[in-house]
Amino acid sequence: MKLTPYQLSIFNDNAYLFAEQAEIALKKLLEKKHLYQSVEVGSLTFLNFPGDVPNWDFDQWPPERSYHPDDPQFDTELDYTEDAIRAMRWTIMTTPHSPGWFISVKNQTFVDVSLPIHPPPVQLYCKVCKRKTAYNFLLGYDVFEEAPVTFYWNKNESEQVFVLVYQCQTCRSQPEVFLIQRHRSTIDQFTPARLTLTGRMPLETPIIPRNLPKKERKHFRNAVIAFDSGQALAAKFLLRIFLEQYVRGVATNPEVRSIESLFDEYNATLPDDFKQRFPSLKSIYDQLSEDIHAADETPEIFETAKQKIVEHFDAKRVFKISN
Ligand SMILES: [Zn+2]
């Protein structure tokens, strides 16, 4: 494929912008998403130049064949460029890139070029530092890099799987390894690329509020892990176990079979002004039970229940209620 300098400049400028979008998406995926969740790489509206492309100058290149934006051929050039950039494989780079060197073309011909992606630093929770802190990208590669093209380009979908290794820049302890799938349909060129977090080592540590009862907090933690992995129903079940085990643990007779009476007994230990201001654990338990019996996989009740439980135990601390 021959490229004119003009085409090459379009290609380079837009490939750079697309790589920036891809890196923003990667950061969002690692910081905000959990296992099996996805982000989309920004739409290609930024390719609507010249207005949207910084420093775009039509006179910058003495093109062999120039297309004015009013020229119908100009759109064809854009389509071609967009499609080509979307279809490029990504190559993980350990050093940041700068505009200008993106696509190196010998004799204005490119074959099998790839888009250089430099995974940006991210904010993650560090178990050693016990807080959210900056993680630097150490190394990464495409698992299918050496594989034949049919291996990853199948069923009209382009697919890559990246291993990315990050390390806490404060304590430099055990690195965190992420497995990320890049997936996109090649049928519709306007479908954005999708990145999915498909693996993580070690498993993400959810931050558990410190006022929760120590003995039962493992159930709360497991509930959050299940929820973050897309298993809302299992998460509700585990959160219900947390409540059940807690009221059993503080009961005078934990062997009582009726969970209702255990909740009532617990509720009776709370001061009236506390009960007026905060929802009872029993009402939270009942809402979770309703969803579990209906096999309801929607996230809302879990999120509200989780928030109310945290508020309940935070308030107990404020009220200086010991159990
Ligand atoms: Zn650390």
The answer to whether residues 89 and 122 belong to one domain is yes
- Give the distance (Å) from ligand 1 centre to CA of residue 310: 26
**Does residue 234 have a pLDDT over 90?**
yes
- Adjacent-strand bridge partners of 117: 92
Name which residue leads in pLDDT, 216 or 78: 216
Could you tell me if residue 210 is inside a domain?
Answer: no
Strands 157-168 and 131-142: antiparallel
C-alpha torsion sign, points 159, 160, 161, 167: negative
Name which residue leads in pLDDT, 23 or 43: 23
The answer to whether residues 10 and 100 belong to one domain is yes
- Give the distance (Å) from ligand 1 centre to CA of residue 110: 43
Per-residue confidence (pLDDT) for residue 272, from 0 to 100: 92
**29 in the Ramachandran plot: left (φ > 0), alpha (ψ -120 to 50) or beta?**
alpha
**Does residue 185 have a pLDDT over 90?**
no
**Does residue 148 have a pLDDT over 80?**
no
In this prediction the pTM is: 0.72
- Give the distance (Å) from ligand 1 centre to CA of residue 166: 11
Could you tell me if residue 211 is inside a domain?
Answer: no
The answer to whether residues 228 and 108 belong to one domain is no
- Give the distance (Å) from ligand 1 centre to CA of residue 137: 14
The answer to whether residues 91 and 153 belong to one domain is yes
The answer to whether residues 83 and 147 belong to one domain is yes
Band the pLDDT of 216: cuts 50, 70, 90. Answer: very high
Q: In which domain, by residue range, is 128 found?
A: 5-201
The answer to whether residues 165 and 268 belong to one domain is no
The answer to whether residues 197 and 254 belong to one domain is no
Per-residue confidence (pLDDT) for residue 80, from 0 to 100: 60
Structural domain total, the chain: 2
Per-residue confidence (pLDDT) for residue 285, from 0 to 100: 97
The answer to whether residues 145 and 99 belong to one domain is yes
Band the pLDDT of 166: cuts 50, 70, 90. Answer: very high
Residue after which a domain boundary falls, among 139, 173, 201 = 201
**Does residue 124 have a pLDDT over 90?**
yes
Per-residue confidence (pLDDT) for residue 88, from 0 to 100: 74
The answer to whether residues 72 and 170 belong to one domain is yes
With beta carbons less than 8 A apart as the criterion, state whether 124 and 166 touch.
yes
Per-residue confidence (pLDDT) for residue 158, from 0 to 100: 62
- Give the distance (Å) from ligand 1 centre to CA of residue 139: 18
Per-residue confidence (pLDDT) for residue 49, from 0 to 100: 44
